[in-house]
Amino acid sequence: MKVKAYAKLNLCLDVVKRLPDGYHDLRMIMVPIDLFDTIDITFDTTTTIQANRRYLPNDDRNTIIKAINGLRERYGFSDQFRIKLNKNIPSQAGLGGGSADAAIVIKTMNALLDLKMDQDEMMAYGKTIGADVPYCIINKPALVSGIGDKVEPFSFVCPFYLFLVKPRKGVSTKLAFGNLDYDNLKHPNADRLKNELLACNYSGIIANMGNDLEQSALRLVKDIFTLKQELLDFGFDHAMMSGSGSTVFAITQDERLIDRAVLNFQRKYPFVKKAKIIDI
């Protein structure tokens, strides 16, 4: 079975507070985009994973293997799988690549083995793999809260375009959260952004986008600040980081601007992508 694992963007990420257990209470607007990994899963005599990126681990450090092994422990199945992963979503990018892979594998295992998990059960299990996995199970534009486990999907139609660029250096999610200055967070308003998206108020959308994790990520990867300024100077209406970074994305209503940007930025950065929000 061949499946697609779609990347996500954070249009808004508010770190509400740090919780006593070390996790963080968040309020976010997350959307899936047309960037995806392809995973081909077939039955075999042993479980193996082959990937097109040498840096990817082939044990429980890989979210795909972790998800399968955890399900095997829960449900007691003996089936083994050959997994081929074509990785297009960059790592340490704030695009949820590992979480997307785990989420689609959970859904695929549920179908292949008739595990009879409903959506809530898949999300609850996904939470044990990673904080973004419950969202990736839903895989629709959504208001996401808690530690990422509360997902409220909504649909909107608004004509704007996205351009993604990732500098060579990535950002560790653990370090991005660990270096936050809580007294100086901007707390972008996710609820207000949702309303502006539903109303298709482009200026209101731009005004309410923001990411509290930029504060610490900028100190870890200086290229993020440089890249944001380059995108604004190029003519984009807004530029910000997704998730814990280091991918920066820009927004415009001029599709021709993105086509010019692809030609310009691909000369300087290892990953560029013209993207659009999808609603599967």
Catalytic residue among 8, 66, 107, 228: 8
Is 8 annotated in the active site?
A: yes
Q: Compute φ and ψ for 203, nearest 5 degrees.
A: -65, -35
- Which one, of 217, 185, 220, lies nearest residue 16 by Cα? 185
Q: Which long-range contacts (CB under 8 A, 24 or more apart) does 104-107 make?
A: 104/3, 104/4, 104/5, 104/39, 104/136, 105/39, 105/41, 105/63, 105/64, 105/67, 105/68, 106/67, 106/71, 106/133, 106/137, 107/3, 107/137
Structure token digits, residue 30: 């997350």
- Distant-in-sequence, close-in-space partners of 251: CB < 8 Å, separation ≥ 6: 160, 161, 162, 163, 205, 206, 209, 236, 237, 238, 239
Is 132 annotated in the active site?
A: yes
- Distant-in-sequence, close-in-space partners of 15: CB < 8 Å, separation ≥ 6: 24, 25, 26, 177, 180, 182, 185, 187, 212, 213
- Which one, of 115, 132, 116, 134, lies nearest residue 124 by Cα? 134
Is residue 5 a contact partner of residue 133, using CB atoms and an 8 Å limit?
no
Structure token digits, residue 215: 């504060």
Catalytic residue among 37, 101, 132, 223: 132
Annotated catalytic sites, by residue? 8, 132
